[in-house]
Amino acid sequence: MKIAILPGDGIGTEIVAEAVKVLNALGLRFEMETALVGGAAFDAHGHPLPPATLKLAQEADAILFGAVGDWKYDTLDRQFRPEQAILGLRKNLGLFANFRPAICYEQLVGASSLKPELIAGLDILIIRELTGDIYFGQPRGRRVAPDGNFPGAEEAFDTMRYTRPEIERIAHVAFQAAQKRSKRVTSVDKANVLETFQFWKDVVTEVGKQYPDVALDHMYVDNAAMQLVKAPKKFDVVVTGNMFGDILSDEAAMLTGSIGMLPSASLNASNQGLYEPSHGSAPDIAGKGIANPLATILSAAMMLRFSLGQPQAADRIEAAVKTVLSQGLRTADIYSAGTRRVGTLEMGDAVVRALQT
């Protein structure tokens, strides 16, 4: 089992270290190799995704990824910004299906900003198409007035685009996931305004006919955003495009109390996957030892289940996380009165102890 370890920037190095510690405590044999990515790679090699890092990722069975980005890189040309590393990995590895589970642990019901009765028992799976849509559509760029003197004449443009095969394959992923859950899929679109998403709706409906045991409904993205706050438990599997999925999955993350609790998996057709926490690099707290490593540890559990064929080991990690939460240990983002605040390192150590006992 070959794992590419790509910690990245900011808190990425801290949280990935704790996930690696947990993996090593399982007693399984892994071949792990670490490489630079994001801003750290740009500083060392002049590019956020150097050829050696991409090669390592392509040859690995799975990738454990931290986070990339820092404000100091905001003045770089877009092609050199740290975030281009994650986009490059998705494109080069064909990672088209992003799984973002939003689960509210019993112990963290009080950490959510919503009423307990709205989120107790919450278990949503958001499936986001990851390699199409406006993030990858061509053409894109800027136009400037011929004389270059009137800023108001500038314009920037990106193209929203989907092909039938792109929509079909993500729809199949969603329906197959729903068959293993509550057999309900909500497809989120903006078909009332965007031709791209009328096409999305039509294709998803066609694919849905191949899964008569799964109930399909369609919802506009603005209504979906509202319903996630109003009645989140009405959802089970949500499938949507790249941009809408990016936004809705972060919204769903906060229902659980903290984005620091949400793992994610990005898979290609061969189940090779990139596993990362849903949050970013948080440069404002980097190096302080207070980041929550649980999303990264839970991402490692998803890696074991989806790409490495070790579902029992994944179960062990998830059970250990629940044990630690039951013991009242909390990082700053999920801390509440009556619990004990711990740092990144101590939380990782606690999960290891739970695994061993």
The CA-to-CA distance between both ends of the chain, in Å, stands at: 25
Supply the pLDDT for residue 151: 61
Residue 258 has pLDDT above 90, yes or no: no
Amino acid identity at 61:
D
Residue 81 has pLDDT above 70, yes or no: yes
Q: Strand, helix or coil at 281?
A: coil
* Model pLDDT for residues 164-193, shown as the tens digit of each residue: 999 999 999 999 999 999 999 999 999 999
Residue 70 has pLDDT above 60, yes or no: yes
- Residue with the larger pLDDT of the pair 146 and 53: 53
What tokens appear for 42 in the block? 């740009």
How far is residue 41's CA from residue 37's CA, in Å, rounded to a whole number? 5
Residue 306 has pLDDT above 60, yes or no: yes
**Annotation says 322 is catalytic:** no
The residue among 2, 4, 1, 97 whose CA lies nearest residue 50 is 4
Supply the pLDDT for residue 111: 80
Range 312-334 average pLDDT: 96
* Model pLDDT for residues 109-121, shown as the tens digit of each residue: 888 888 989 999 9
Q: How many CB atoms lie within 10 A of CB 235?
A: 25
What tokens appear for 263 in the block? 């793992």
Supply the pLDDT for residue 173: 96
Range 16-32 average pLDDT: 97
**Annotation says 246 is catalytic:** yes
Supply the pLDDT for residue 175: 98
The residue among 343, 122, 354, 69 whose CA lies nearest residue 253 is 122
How far is residue 312's CA from residue 316's CA, in Å, rounded to a whole number? 6
Q: Which of 72, 202, 217, 222 is catalytic?
A: 222
For residue 253, the Cα-to-chain-centroid distance in whole angstroms is 10
The residue among 69, 66, 61 whose CA lies nearest residue 32 is 61
How far is residue 355's CA from residue 86's CA, in Å, rounded to a whole number? 31
Confidence of residue 82 (pLDDT cuts 50, 70, 90): very high
Range 347-356 average pLDDT: 97
Supply the pLDDT for residue 150: 57
Single pTM value for the model: 0.89
* Model pLDDT for residues 124-165, shown as the tens digit of each residue: 999 999 999 998 888 888 777 666 665 666 788 899 999 999
* Model pLDDT for residues 31-46, shown as the tens digit of each residue: 999 999 999 999 999 9
- Residue with the larger pLDDT of the pair 23 and 152: 23
**Annotation says 209 is catalytic:** no
Q: Which of 43, 246, 322, 335 is catalytic?
A: 246
What tokens appear for 214 in the block? 């799964």
Q: Which of 123, 135, 158, 335 is catalytic?
A: 135
* Model pLDDT for residues 192-238, shown as the tens digit of each residue: 999 999 999 999 999 999 999 999 999 999 999 999 999 999 999 99
Do residues 266 and 130 make contact, with C-beta atoms less than 8 angstroms apart? Answer: yes
**Annotation says 250 is catalytic:** yes
Range 320-347 average pLDDT: 94
Q: Which of 2, 233, 250, 335 is catalytic?
A: 250
Do residues 62 and 95 make contact, with C-beta atoms less than 8 angstroms apart? Answer: no
Do residues 105 and 256 make contact, with C-beta atoms less than 8 angstroms apart? Answer: yes
The residue among 172, 34, 37 whose CA lies nearest residue 96 is 172
* CATH topology (fold) of 1-96+262-357: Isopropylmalate Dehydrogenase (3.40.718)
Range 316-325 average pLDDT: 96
> Domain residue spans in the chain?
1-96+262-357
